[in-house]
Structure formats: C-alpha cells, structure tokens
Structure 1
C-alpha cells in the first residue's frame, strides 16, 4: 500500500508531498494544474521509463520518493532483501527515483541502488494502473486466465494446485525418459567399454601393492653380485674373521671396550652404566651380523625368476597405462566400473518404470484438466454477468463482457485452456478483444467494472491482498447519475483495496476518503508552480463546488456539493 509520495522538480511541480489514504484517494484540480504529473511520479516509482523532458525547466534533476507498506506482501519484502535493500521496522520501504535533465536515471530501493527493472518487478504486486496510455493489467491472455482463476474461488485454486504438482512431476519424468532414450546408444557403448576393461582386469587379476613388490624384486634380482659384495663387506666389518682381515671387527672391538669398563664398574657407577650400554650395542651388532649372513646365503642369481617378474610387471603395466597410475588405482577403477555397469544395465527398468508413471500422470492431468475447464466455464459465465451488471451503472448499458474458455493447442502448467476477455461495446456489436474498440474512458470504466468484480470475489473467496488501483480518466464522457455510479463503485472497490483516482467530476470526488487538490500559481519568474494539499471540511465543499460549476463561492453550487457529500456517505 502506498503511504506517501514526495515529488521535486517534475514537470510543473517544484515540490509537493502527496499523502495517500488507505481507502479511496481522489486527486482533483484545474486543467493544466499538474494532476498528471502525480501519476507520472508514481509511474517512475514503479519502474516506468524516465523522460528527461519531464524535468522542471532550470532544474538539474527530478526526484520522486515514495514510501510503500510491504508488511503484508512477503514476496515484495523478499525481493527488497534480495536486492540488498532494507525494510524499515514499521514494515515500509522507501523507493527513490532520480531523473537527470541530461537523461540519466537512477533507482534506489530500501536504501540500495538497483536497476530500474527491479522496481518494475515489484510493481506488478504493488500497483495496477488503468489509463489511456498505460498497459492494461488484463491485456494479455495469461493475465486474463489468472484473473478468471482468482475469481473462480478456493476450490478451483485447489484443482489448479493439484494440476501444477502433477504437471511438474510429469515434466521431470519426461526429461528423464528423453535422457534415457536419447543416450541409449551412448550408454550401450559406455557399458561395452566398461565390460572390456573389467574383463581385462579380472584376467590379469592384480593384487593390492603387487606392482610395488615386483619392482623391488626386479631391482634385487637384477643386481645380485653388487648386493652380495656389499652385504659381505658389511658382515666382515661387523663380525668377520679377524685373522683373515688382519684387523678387529666391530663385535670384537665393542666387546673389548665392554670388558674394560666392567673391570672398573665397582669403582665408578658412571663407567658401569656405559658398560651396560656397550653390552646392548654388542647384542644389536650380533643380531645384525646374523641377518646379513642369512641374506648373503639366500641371495642367489635367479634368471628365470627375474624374467618372470619382468613379464608380470609388463602385464600390470598394460592395466596401469589404461586405468590408473598404480595397481591400487586400477583396482579402484574396476570397483567403480562395476557399480557404473549396474546403473547402466538398470536403464531399461528405469525407462519402463518412468514411462508407466508418466502414463498415470497423463491420465491424472486429463482428469484434472477437464475439471478445471468446467470450473473455468462456470466462473466465466459468472464473471461476465457480474461485469456486465456493473457496466449498466457506468453509462455503458448496452455493453457487455464476454469471457471465452477454449481448448489450447498445447496444455501447460495452467491447464488446457485459453481464456479471452472480449467487450461487446453495444447491442449488436461484435465482441472484440479487451483493449480494442473502446475509447480510453470507456476502457477505464470496463476495467473498473472488472476490478470491482474480481476484488469482491477475492475478498469473499480467498482473502488475498489486492494491489493499489490507480484510475486515470475513468470519468471521461460520463456525467449525471452515471458519474455517481462511477464514484460509488470506486468507493466499493476501496473497501477492499487502496484506490487512487484522478477525476474532474465532483460526483466521483465526493466518495473519496481523502481528497487532494492540485493547485498552480506563478513564481517570480512567471513559471507555473504546482502544489498539492489535502482538503477537508469547508475547503472540500469549496473544491467540489468549483468542480460542479466553476464558481466555488456560488451558494447553489455549495449546496449541491454538500448534498453530494451527504449522499455519498448514505450511498455507501
């Protein structure tokens, strides 16, 4: 809901603050005073195209700022948050639009700079404008279908929800089926390659770490003599034949040192401990000497074993070149390949199951689609009757609304219908699509009639939050009793939603909860300046009298104005 609009340097408006009531707010004033600029400012706040020509002459830029209550519109509040803006603690958000005289335009939402398109996105949920130059909310077939669905009530909405759920599941299943069928050949080729690879691995039958062990064996068998010489030298140095070598080995030297220390161990405990450590060293050296001796005895040339090891390594190499850097990698690939084969082989069963479920959903969609079509047909007749009844009171007694529900070429998530709103302008005239064949004023009245019918159904049926409705030129070509009926219907709509109307008719303005008057004057430079103020009490009577006769001080006009105010209260 709009709470306030502040305008600076826009057209003839130098500075104005426009409070907007929660019910029916009418904007009145003399021709040329700048009433249209108020709607232009609102259009800018809602993401409309910026025109540098609207900047007040002599000003560098025009600024429009609006405060909008979004506490009851979580989708809008979420969009503000997504854009990085903030909703104030009182549930309102500030929208700012700046238009530079040189042509640049900037938009801010909740204190954060945003693209103009973001304002246009939230505008769909916030404001619906009806005017000769504005896009009609119900011009497109999809909007007309949505309007009819909203009018049809909660039972119809439940059918639509079931249909959309089934449609979503069916679409996902069809995508899965298409994928399985499209990739059938590819999956078969992949499975064949995997089977060949797994068969090769199974034939070679590698063991974990086998390539590492074989590499070590090949290194040993390929260097037997070098290993023998090195091991023998090590053994002789540790525990070799002293007479043969003509020098002490390590075991003998350590033992001699141990005995020397043990001979004086009783004299010095420090040397006793060192002697114990030398004894431990002697045991270790003896063990090492034994192991080296055993290694030398076991080390023998084995050309056949070396050839076998090389052959096995070559066989394993064919696997590691194709399926991994090591045998362990090959074994991991084979395990994954087996699981993938299970998945690929399951494609046929998955296709059968998905196809069966899709067929079930097709039957469900056919059943629900038929029910939705019947529901829409009933609602179409009711909506057409309701709008046609409204038109009779809006000086369009010969006009009627026709709502057609026809089979669509292709079903969609909304059902199987195309909904078309058409207007029969007068008796005997052909039905023409909404928005064609009617003047701006007539079209505004048609839209008023539709909005009243939709709003009544929405509040009575679903309790949904309606947007702010803005009507411009709704009273074009209307006068007398018809004008009173226009005002009465606007007031009726305003009991369910916020309504803003620009009007020249006192009969309409009399029904307002808040009346704003746009006045003009000239500043020192003889440039027109516009201001906006709320009128109440005697001021409002004077304004209504001016609208009735052009003479706000006329006693007859003032009496008529008072009568209008009194009858508007009674009429509601």
Structure 2
C-alpha cells in the first residue's frame, strides 16, 4: 500500500506532501492546478522514463519520495517484493515501510533509490510492479492490443490457466530443442558425415600405433641407454673382472688379480699373526669381502640384462618414429594423443548421422510436437471457457455503468502460421503459430446495444466508453488480485450524468479490496471517496504554485459544489453536493 508521497519541484508543484489511506482516495482541483502531477510522480516511482521538461521552472531538480507499506502483501507478490529488496540490499525503515526515491535533474539526469540504496530505475519498476498499477489518461488504449486482451483473460482465470500455460511452455521448449537438433543434423548431414569419416580415419591411425601412457618418455630413456650399450658393457665387464677376476693360479699377493682374492689374502695374513690389534681388523676385512662379492654379483646380473640383440635399438627407434608421427598431428606428447582420441570418440558418437540416429531424432521431435499440440489445445480450451465468463462479468458491469444493454464479447482464436513462421505447430492438421503464451489471440468486441453487431473494441467504443470498459474490467479482475494499489487518472473522461455516479460506485466497490487513488474532475465520482485530496494553485507575482491538502466536512462540500459547474458559492450547488455525499454514504453502508 502507498502510505505517503512527497513531491518537490515537479511541474507547478514547488513542494507538497500527501498521505494515503485504505479505501478510495480522490484527487481534485481546478484545471491546470497540477492534479496529474500526482500520477506523474507515481509513474516516476514506478521506474518510468524521466522527462527533464517536468522539472519546475527555476528548480535544479524534481524529487519524488514515496513510502510503501508491504505488511499485507503475501503470496507470489510478497515473494517478488522480498526478492527485489534482498537483491538490491535495500533496508526497511524503522516502522517496516520501504522508502522509494526518484530525482530528475533539469539536465535530464535521473537517480533512483530503494530503501536507502542507489539502484537503476528498472529496479523500482520491479519493486512497484506487484504493488502499484497506474492507469494514465491514455492507458486504456492498452485494451486495444491483442496481447493485453489475452493477458486480461489469463488474469481473470489465473487458477485455471496457470497450470496448462506452464505445461505448454515446458513442452514447447522441449519440442523446439528436439526440432532444432533434427534440423541441424539433417541440414548438416554432409558436413557431419565428412567429419565422422575424418574422425574414424584419425582414430584408426592412432589405434594402429596403440600408444600407451608415458611410452614416449620411457623410449627416450631406453634409446639413450642402448646408444651407450658397448661402453656400458665394457665398463661393467672391466669392473666385474677387477672385483672377481679370472681364474687365479696362486694365492700369493703378487699373483692375485682380483679385489676379492687380494682381500682374502689380507685377511689370512692378519689372522695368522698373534697380535690382538691386527686380529681385530679381520672381521672388518670379512665384511669388505662380502660387500665386494655382492657388487660383483649385481654387475653380473646387469651384464646378463643388457640386450644381446643388435637390432633392439633399431626397433626402439622405429617405435619412437611412429609415436612422433602421432604427436606431430594430435598433441605434444603421447598422453595428449590418448586424450585427443578419447574426445574424438565422444564427438564421433555425437555426430552420428546414420539413418537410425536421424530416425530416432525425427521420432523424438514428432512426439514432442504431438505433446505440445495437445497442451496447446487444453490451454485454448481453458482460455475459451474463461473468455466466456469474463465477457459475461464485464457486460454486467457495463450495464451498471450506464451503458444500457452494451455487451462485451471476448473471442479466442487460434493463430494460423504465416509464411515467415519458422516453427509452425501442427494442431489437428492445421499449422498454427506457437508463441511463448500459446497459439491463441484474443479480441475484445463491443456491441453498443442489444441488437447491435459486436465490433472490435477499437472501432466501436468512444473514449468515454473505452474508459468504462477498462474500469469494468478492473472491477472484475480485482476479485482475483487483492491488496494492490490502483491509480486512475481521469478514468471518467468523457463521462457525465448517471454514468459518472455509477463510475463512483464501482470505484468505491473496487476500494473494498484495493487501495484506489483516482484523479477526477467529476463531483459524482469524488463524492464516493473515503479520503478527498485537493490540489490548490496560487499565483504569487506571476509564479504559479500548487500544493496538496486533505478536505473534510464543509471544505469538501465546497469543493464538490465547485466541481458542479462552479456552484461553490450558491445554496443550490451546496445542496447538490450534500445530496451526492449522502448518496455515497448510503452506498458505503450497502457495501459493508
């Protein structure tokens, strides 16, 4: 609910504050006093485009501040409000209300704040969208658009339409995805077939070599080793001979030819003596002999393991060349080649263009089309049922708005696909345009009297009739949307007499479930208000200034009399005003 608004430097208003309450609030004032600036302010708070021409002459900027109370907003609207506040980092005021601020500089620059945080103007639109609906003087023209007419039907029967609409949208996405994939596969079959052949050829080349992980690194080390084979063998043989020697014919130190034999001779000589100090060295020489024997054995094994095949190096070099042929084409090393092959196999599965694969895609697309066609039919049926009920309800309201036996017809038609439609939907043998909201278009048609033929509302309704149709529509739709603030700027334009009284009645009725703010020039409408605000203008030395104040008691009688063709200073005018107020009070009692 909108609790308060403050306006500075906007149009003819230098500074004004207005408080709003539950029920019906009317804003009146003389022509040119600035009544519509209230609506302009609400448009700005709703994120509308800023117009520097609206800034008061001589002012640096216009400032509009609104205080919104959201305690009574629940359900989906409450969740939407909470989400916007959280994402913007906005803070609530101490009393839980939310402050919305919009400034417009004389240079055209605009700033927006939500809950003390600077935000883009679009965020204000997101915040106020669930809370505030503003109908400007030309907003009734929206009723002439087919999409708005369809949206009105969907709002009217939200519970009956939301589920089939959501189901249609879900199935439509799946159908378009399957259809797009089928088209891509079919149109690119030659290109995909060529890619598949290339992948198969390259995988065959890799599989023929059959590289193993890390094989290229291991071969480099082995090739280096085999390249030094003669040197390694000579070194190992010489070392082994030095340690274990050839056959020894004598046991003297002079004749011994191996380290083992020499160490044995040294140990025998030491152990043959009687000196205890030399005897202690014997075990240590025994350990040395054992170590040398172990090393000699390992050298023997090393020599045994050295390749004896002189062609081993050539085989390794040949294998290395095969691996290099792969690493030159596919990756820097063998591990990369193996990874490339794995990816290629996955791509090959995806670009399968066999007849079986295409047939499977075609079946999936056909099944998806049948499913979305069925969902579209159910959605159309739900809309048609809702359209009939909406037409009946609005027609009843029109009768109460002094439009005699005027009748609103609401037609739901399926949209036949055009030549430029890229994705026509086959529904019962007819190709239809499958939009995001279904295959339907809605048209409002108005018959001016009982025997008249209904015509599109844009051709059959005058400005005043269009205003009343819009009001009747809002009254009917209000039953499905409670709690929002609704603003009407001269919805009674082009209306007078008994029709004006009936408009006042309908607005008062609408205000039982909504906060309603109406800018009006008709006393018959203003009399039904729970709160009456007037915009006064003063001319101070050629400078026009306006302010907003609340009326009560005698002041309200005077204002209503003024609105009755300027009869504020006559007894007749006052009597007529009091009569209107009494009529409104009686109506209020009936609504309770």
TM-score (norm: length of structure 2): 0.80
**Hey, what's the Cα distance between the residues in 2 that align with 1:437 and 1:6?**
41
Structure 2 residue 466 is matched with structure 1 residue 443: yes
More moved, 48-57 vs 320-329? 320-329
**Hey, what's the Cα distance between the residues in 2 that align with 1:353 and 1:473?**
61
**Hey, what's the Cα distance between the residues in 2 that align with 1:350 and 1:493?**
60
Report the CA distance shift for 1:418/1:128 in structure 2 as closer, same or farther (over 3 A): same
1:120-176 C-alpha deviation (Å, 9 max, x unpaired): 455554433333344744343212111112224533443333333332332232233
Partner of 2:249: none
Q: Is the 8 A contact 2:185 2:353 kept in 1?
A: no
Report the CA distance shift for 1:112/1:315 in structure 2 as closer, same or farther (over 3 A): same
After the TM superposition, which residues 283-298 of structure 1 pair with which residues of structure 2 at under 5 Å, given as runs?
283-296=290-303
**Hey, what's the Cα distance between the residues in 1 that align with 2:448 and 2:275?**
130
**Hey, what's the Cα distance between the residues in 2 that align with 1:278 and 1:136?**
115
Partner of 1:148: 153
After the TM superposition, which residues 156-171 of structure 1 pair with which residues of structure 2 at under 5 Å, given as runs?
156-171=161-176
RMSD: 4.1
Report the CA distance shift for 1:48/1:337 in structure 2 as closer, same or farther (over 3 A): closer
**Hey, what's the Cα distance between the residues in 1 that align with 2:455 and 2:546?**
41
1:314-363 C-alpha deviation (Å, 9 max, x unpaired): 23333333344444444454455445545555975554444334433433
Q: Is the 8 A contact 2:42 2:134 kept in 1?
A: no
Q: Is the 8 A contact 1:251 1:285 kept in 2?
A: no
Q: Is the 8 A contact 1:180 1:347 kept in 2?
A: no
Match of 1:541 among 536, 557, 561: 557
Secondary structure in 2 matching 1:303: coil
**Hey, what's the Cα distance between the residues in 2 that align with 1:264 and 1:56?**
128
Q: Is the 8 A contact 2:253 2:262 kept in 1?
A: no
Secondary structure in 1 matching 2:444: strand
Partner of 1:44: 44
Match of 1:138 among 139, 143, 153: 143
Match of 1:498 among 497, 503, 515: 515
**Hey, what's the Cα distance between the residues in 2 that align with 1:520 and 1:111?**
32
Match of 1:383 among 364, 371, 390: 390
Residue 298 of structure 1, CA deviation: 5.8
Residue 299 of structure 1, CA deviation: 4.8
1:56-108 C-alpha deviation (Å, 9 max, x unpaired): 22221110011234543222432344445445586643221111122222222
Partner of 1:363: 370
> What stretches of structure 2 of length at least 5 have no aligned partner?
247-251, 417-432
**Hey, what's the Cα distance between the residues in 2 that align with 1:300 and 1:198?**
34
Report the CA distance shift for 1:244/1:555 in structure 2 as closer, same or farther (over 3 A): farther
Secondary structure in 1 matching 2:468: helix
1:239-258 C-alpha deviation (Å, 9 max, x unpaired): 7799899999699689979x
> What stretches of structure 1 of length at least 5 have no aligned partner?
459-463
**Hey, what's the Cα distance between the residues in 2 that align with 1:26 and 1:43?**
17
Partner of 1:461: none
Residue 384 of structure 1, CA deviation: 3.0
**Hey, what's the Cα distance between the residues in 1 that align with 2:391 and 2:209?**
81
**Hey, what's the Cα distance between the residues in 1 that align with 2:350 and 2:127?**
46
Match of 2:112 among 81, 104, 107: 107
Q: Is the 8 A contact 2:263 2:289 kept in 1?
A: no
Report the CA distance shift for 1:135/1:89 in structure 2 as closer, same or farther (over 3 A): farther
Report the CA distance shift for 1:16/1:436 in structure 2 as closer, same or farther (over 3 A): farther
Report the CA distance shift for 1:244/1:132 in structure 2 as closer, same or farther (over 3 A): farther
Structure 2 residue 404 is matched with structure 1 residue 397: yes
**Hey, what's the Cα distance between the residues in 1 that align with 2:113 and 2:523?**
37
Structure 2 residue 67 is matched with structure 1 residue 63: no
More moved, 474-483 vs 396-405? 396-405
After the TM superposition, which residues 269-308 of structure 1 pair with which residues of structure 2 at under 5 Å, given as runs?
283-296=290-303, 299=306, 302-308=309-315
Q: Is the 8 A contact 1:444 1:471 kept in 2?
A: no
Partner of 2:324: 317
Alignment length, in residue pairs?
560
